[in-house]
Amino acid sequence: MIKTTVRDDDPIHHSTDCLVLFCLEEKKPAGLLKELDGRLKGTISSAFENKVFEGKPNQTFWVNTLGALGAKHLLLTGLGKAREMNGEKIRQAAGTAAKLAEKSKSKTLSFAVREGALARIKHPCPGETEPDPACPVAEGSYLALYRFDHYKSKSAEGEENADVRSVESIVLLVARAQHRAVERAAERAAKIASAVVTARDLISHPSNTATPTYLADTARAIAKKHKIACKILDRKEMEKLGMGALLGVARGSHEPPAFIVLEYFGAGKTQPPVVIVGKGITFDTGGISLKPPANMDEMKMDMSGGAATLGTLQAVASLKVKANVVGIVPATENMPGGSAIKPGDILKSMSGKTIEVLNTDAEGRLVLADALAYAARYKPKAIIDLATLTGACIVALGHLAAAVIGSDEKLIRKLSDSAGITGERIWELPLWPEHEKAIKSDIADLKNISGPAFGAGTITGAAFLKAFAGDFPWAHLDIAGTAWTGEAGPYQAKGATGFGVRLLLHYIESGAGRKKS
Ligand code: BES
Ligand code: MN
Ligand code: ZN
């Protein structure tokens, strides 16, 4: 993560390339802003008067201080109305400011975290695990400054292609005491952002790098670094367990599949864990039910659920959360080939249930079927699966929310609460008995698709998964639309989002330290 220091300089004299001050939406500058306005000869008050800057969410105003302040540039960034304030607004504003500072070639970026708007609201980030606003400030900046440039050659110095980064260090300014509190908040933010970056990197790597073996190696590295348990089952061990659904999908590929299990026990061995299951299709061609060529490259992101699972385990382990969490990632490619499964083939899953595969492109639910059956071994307090499962989910909710479907109202409500706080939105879709009936096969127990008469394919996918989740409280997140974005956001570059890591971390932390929910 970018080097970050906490200093108690006075913001007026603090020397930096860019000083960010967060502002509320109001009629005219108040507090420190008023003092700065005096030094800047009324620049700020005239911006307010002309409505060039009013403190609206993510609105910015860039001032060259020409020596009037210790900072070369002052960057006012809006947070909106005081009564609507929350951590997500702060994260977004900080991200917006960081991106602008980066674009303007600032090397040092300083945030006043105890001044301006942040000083004037008593609880600026309600619901966040960490109440200090320095946390969303740092988190938003780290995530905004993320770039995936592993494949840009850096040898040719000075050439266009040499992707030089500008922001080298971040300073969090605390005018008064509370130095240590801000330091702790920033450390937490760095751990969270690193976990999100783990997920984003895995998703961004092309499938010829990020193979099932690569996912397994990453899981091992996370386990080693944070001293948690890691088990990787190979094809033989999967055969022994009877994981015929996962192995069926893996048959078309020359890449060996991997069944990844990470175990983090932060609350003693007796409490049942939350099990997170993430779809780990490292490339989805559709198999014999081949996908059309347009945008097929994006199917390298079909392991986003698995990436978010590994990221979440990294987050909980690095933050030493007092909870038990298991992460499971069934990983394989979905390829056509001489040995690939064909439409009509019947597979026997680990649960014993047989599946008629009517479309080999509905492969996510097949690998998840065996992973969910494996999850039951833990007698979990809850099972949450994340999967880029259906294109239909993008039709329903676009890129703005993941779909959530589950068997337990309380679990869905808790996840929805965490979604609201972290800004990783989810929206519930129904699952009715008709949907479950629609996937009954004529010649096997289940079939992996149903007809169009039952509406959203997203629900069909969930109905199929439900058959394997047992009687444990279970929720399925279809992240097909949220795992990947064609449009940059305030703390988001184009491409992989790492969706799910912050949401699940919040969910787990909200239940941590307490007894069974
Ligand atoms: N990985 C895809 C879903 C997907 C599509 C994710 C676009 C992200 C962006 C999944 O395996 C798939 O192919 N689903 C099929 C299911 C269908 C055959 C029932 C789909 O959505 O078309
Ligand atoms: Mn598919
Ligand atoms: Zn897929």
Which residue in the block uniquely carries the two structure tokens 């911006």?
47
pLDDT band at 164 (very low <50, low <70, confident <90, very high): confident
DSSP state of 3: E
Beta-carbon neighbour count of residue 119 at 10 Å? 16
Q: What is the mean pLDDT of residues 25-37?
A: 91
Q: 448-472: per-residue pLDDT in tens?
A: 999 766 667 999 999 999 999 999 9
In a domain, 153, yes or no: no
Query: Which of the listed residues 285, 295, 361, 450 should we mutate to test ligand 1's pocket, taking the one with most ligand atoms within 8 A of CB?
Result: 361
Q: Count of domains in the chain?
A: 2
In a domain, 154, yes or no: no
Query: Which residue, judged by its Cα, is nearest atom 5 of ligand 1?
Result: 391
pLDDT band at 512 (very low <50, low <70, confident <90, very high): confident
- Do 224 and 110 belong together in one domain? no
pLDDT band at 108 (very low <50, low <70, confident <90, very high): very high
Q: Tell me, what's the pLDDT at 158?
A: 56
Q: Tell me, what's the pLDDT at 516?
A: 42
CA nearest 477: which of 496, 458, 455, 457?
458
Distance CA 144, CA 140 (A): 6
- Do 209 and 181 belong together in one domain? no
Kindly identify the ligand whose nearest atom is closest to the C-alpha of 391: 1
The beta strands (E) that lie in 143-190 are given as 169-173
- Do 123 and 236 belong together in one domain? no
Q: Tell me, what's the pLDDT at 70?
A: 98
Q: What is the mean pLDDT of the chain?
A: 95
Q: Tell me, what's the pLDDT at 517?
A: 40
Q: Which CATH number goes with the domain that contains 100?
A: 3.40.220.10
Residue 34: is its pLDDT beyond 70?
A: yes
Q: 329-375: per-residue pLDDT in tens?
A: 999 999 999 999 999 999 999 999 999 999 999 999 999 999 999 99
The beta strands (E) that lie in 13-107 are given as 16-24, 60-64, 71-80
Contact at 8 Å (CB) between 433 and 445?
A: no
Residue 514: is its pLDDT beyond 50?
A: yes
Residue 386: is its pLDDT beyond 80?
A: yes
Contact at 8 Å (CB) between 355 and 369?
A: yes
Determine phi and psi for 409, rounding to 5 degrees. -60, -40
Residue 293 C-beta-side C-alpha neighbours within 13 Å = 0
Determine phi and psi for 428, rounding to 5 degrees. -80, 140
Active site residue 7: no
Q: 278-325: per-residue pLDDT in tens?
A: 999 999 999 999 999 999 999 999 999 999 999 999 999 999 999 999
- Do 221 and 106 belong together in one domain? no
- Do 393 and 360 belong together in one domain? yes
Determine phi and psi for 83, rounding to 5 degrees. -75, -10
Give CA angle at 143 (261, 60), nearest 5°: 160
Beta bridge partners of 331: 258, 280
- Do 438 and 499 belong together in one domain? yes
- Do 367 and 424 belong together in one domain? yes
CA nearest 385: which of 402, 372, 399?
372
Alpha helices in 296-447 (DSSP H): 304-318, 364-375, 391-397, 409-422, 433-437
Kindly identify the ligand whose nearest atom is closest to the C-alpha of 359: 1
- Do 104 and 236 belong together in one domain? no
Note down the domain range covering 328. Answer: 205-510
Kindly identify the ligand whose nearest atom is closest to the C-alpha of 301: 1
Determine phi and psi for 79, rounding to 5 degrees. -115, -5
DSSP state of 296: G
Which ligand 1 atom is the nearest neighbour of the CA of 302? 1
In a domain, 63, yes or no: yes
Q: Tell me, what's the pLDDT at 31?
A: 86
- Do 222 and 103 belong together in one domain? no
pLDDT band at 30 (very low <50, low <70, confident <90, very high): confident
Tokens of 414: 């808790």
Residue 32: is its pLDDT beyond 60?
A: yes
Q: 121-132: per-residue pLDDT in tens?
A: 999 999 999 999
What's this model's pTM, rounded to 2 decimal places?
0.97
Render 9-24 in DSSP notation, one character per residue: --TTT--EEEEEEEEE
Q: What percent of the chain has pLDDT over 90?
A: 93
Distance CA 192, CA 143 (A): 10
Distance CA 120, CA 33 (A): 12
Q: Tell me, what's the pLDDT at 160?
A: 58
pLDDT band at 256 (very low <50, low <70, confident <90, very high): very high
In a domain, 488, yes or no: yes
In a domain, 155, yes or no: no
- Do 286 and 400 belong together in one domain? yes
Q: Which CATH number goes with the domain that contains 270?
A: 3.40.630.10
Beta bridge partners of 335: none
Q: Tell me, what's the pLDDT at 178?
A: 84
- Do 433 and 299 belong together in one domain? yes
Q: Tell me, what's the pLDDT at 515?
A: 44
Q: Tell me, what's the pLDDT at 161?
A: 53
In a domain, 14, yes or no: yes
3-state helix, strand, coil split of the chain in percent (to 5) is 35, 20, 40
CA nearest 259: which of 342, 180, 148, 350?
350
Q: What is the mean pLDDT of residues 40-58?
A: 97
Q: Tell me, what's the pLDDT at 153?
A: 85
Query: Which residue, judged by its Cα, is nearest atom 17 of ligand 1?
Result: 362
- Do 189 and 289 belong together in one domain? no
Q: Which of 251, 365, 381, 447 is catalytic?
A: 365
Query: Which residue, judged by its Cα, is nearest atom 7 of ligand 1?
Result: 391
DSSP state of 336: -
Distance CA 433, CA 33 (A): 59
In a domain, 45, yes or no: yes
CA nearest 137: which of 118, 150, 155?
118
Active site residue 365: yes
Q: Tell me, what's the pLDDT at 176?
A: 63
Distance CA 320, CA 479 (A): 27
Which ligand 1 atom is the nearest neighbour of the CA of 449? 19
pLDDT band at 162 (very low <50, low <70, confident <90, very high): low
Contact at 8 Å (CB) between 26 and 47?
A: no
In a domain, 79, yes or no: yes
> Ligand 2 centroid to 414 CA: how many Å?
29
3-state secondary structure of 360: coil
Residue 157: is its pLDDT beyond 50?
A: yes
